[in-house]
Amino acid sequence: MPYYLDLPIKLSDTITKSYDLIVPDIIPDGNLSEKPLLVSIHGGAWRGGERRIFNSLERFIRRGFPMLNISYRFVQEAPFPAQLIDCKLAIRWARAHAKKYGYNANKIIVGGSSAGGHLAALLAMTNHDKRYDIGEYLEYSSAVQAVVDEFGPVDLLGDDIPELSALIGDTPESRREASPMHLITGNEPPFLIMHGTADQTVPYEQSVRFYEALKAAGVEVQFHTVPGGAHGYDDIDAYRVLTDFILSQAQ
């Protein structure tokens, strides 16, 4: 199984970070060319964390899915929307390098937890917004075809997560721009949202409202509740729901 680690990515004149790419060469249940690329965005309140923290999507490598773990600039390095710009660059990079590394990037499933879930959702909400396509590989699309949002903050305008909201924007306008909840058009790709009821960092009710708003807009969306789940959980039912969703999007 080829591992391409520490692939350097220049995100600004002074900041270079890295991606990790895993391309399975043993395909247990299908042709690799038919598998969507999974892209994972790590959490850390947009100011920390790193791409090699275990994520839920990594389990699908053994099922033959290629996997890209990305990095992005933190808010102390560059203010929002730099984080979204960097994630869009990662999607374009993935498409630009698909033939070189031998995977299919026609369909991309993006996922993350906490701040990573927020950025994954935000990618989907801005699929056709060219304002955030900045940098290299502009001849390639930054659109994603499905989203896994695990307890991501989606509404930064309220007063239920003031500490997090302050990190991403200092005005109501900037926080609205960064809030997936307020960017729904009805044209979003399929979503899976998962959240624990005992989350003390991002309120469970944020995901409830997001699910209801997406559903009302006609978006294909599933919502899985983890009873008693905190800000992070190990739940077999959540894994089963995630598996069903990923495999359904691989059709």
**Annotated catalytic residue within 40, 71, 113, 114:** 114
**Annotated catalytic residue within 86, 149, 155, 199:** 199
Examine the residue annotation and report whether 199 is marked as an active-site residue of this protein: yes
**Annotated catalytic residue within 133, 141, 231, 235:** 231
**In this structure, how many other beta carbons lie within 10 angstroms of the beta carbon of residue 95?**
18
For residues 22 and 13, the answer to whether their CB atoms sit within 8 Å is no
Examine the residue annotation and report whether 114 is marked as an active-site residue of this protein: yes
CA 128/CA 57 separation, integer angstroms: 25
For residues 116 and 106, the answer to whether their CB atoms sit within 8 Å is no
DSSP letter string, 142-196 = ---SEEEEES-----SSSSSHHHHHHH-SSHHHHHHT-GGG---S----EEEEEE
Residue pointed to by tokens 């007063």: 159
Tokens of 211: 């699910």
Side-chain half-sphere exposure of 25, counting CA atoms within 13 A: 6
Please state the three-class secondary structure of 67-111 as a single string.
EEEECCCCCCCCCCCHHHHHHHHHHHHHHHCHHHHCCCCCCEEEE
Taking the CA atoms of residue 50, residue 56, residue 60 and residue 61 in that order, the dihedral angle to the nearest 10 degrees is 20
DSSP-derived secondary structure letter, 228: T
Residue 156: closest CA among 90, 222, 216, 81: 81
Question: Residues with catalytic annotation?
Answer: 114, 199, 231
